[in-house]
Structure 1
């Protein structure tokens, strides 16, 4: 895991809002950074590489595949994890409870 993923995982392991997450969760041909099965919520931490080459289209294809299976995808820029982790966690909890 990248440093932003490690930092977010440390926060998610505390079960914010009573939510339980899995890390590196398999979903078809993909591996999700984090997944909350109760709310079918995938959390993806996107570093700089996600803006390069064919990666944006690959991410779009992946998100469409997940959504077609009832999974909500929340993409979080890695730089935001460094900026305000507490706000990110609150946003994840709010999204899960949707």
Structure 2
């Protein structure tokens, strides 16, 4: 069963996107990056991913704001969950997205063609 509270929160987060989220979304939407279909503020289990692509590669892109420095344990748990569901997780800082967007996009693009990691670890 889908968690309606998370779905509503994701909708709110789409409407109230941060400047880095808006900047990256402008380049990910409409299959602009290698034809990959990204969605934003996607509910995956008990979490909301900033951006997710299921094809051609299961990929989650997270933009970490200033508060994430104090949330390392939570982020690690969240990453483990997403990896256990078959996703590769990339994290970028707000600063990277705003100041080095082309490098961020190049990294995302490169990871759309990389073989998935084994879940053996």
TM-score past 0.5 threshold: yes
- Between Structure 1 and Structure 2, whose CA radius of gyration is higher? 2
C-alpha distance in structure 2 between counterparts of 1:91 and 1:61, whole Å: 23
Residue in structure 1 matched with residue 64 of structure 2 by the alignment: 46
Instruction: Note the alpha carbon deviations across 1:44-84, whole angstroms, 9 max, x for none.
Output: 000110002xx110000000011111111000111001112
C-alpha distance in 2 between matches for 1:96 and 1:77? 19
Gaps of 5+ in 1: none
Counterpart for residue 61 of structure 1 = 77
Q: 2:49 aligns with which of 32, 37, 44?
A: 32
Aligned to 2:11: none
Unpaired runs of 5+ residues, structure 2, are 1-16, 115-121
RMSD value over aligned CA atoms? 0.9
- In 2, Cα distance between the equivalents of 1:2 and 1:33? 11
| Number of equivalent positions | 96
C-alpha distance in 1, partners of 2:75/2:18?
18
Distance (Å, rounded) in 2 between the aligned partners of 1:70 and 1:13: 22
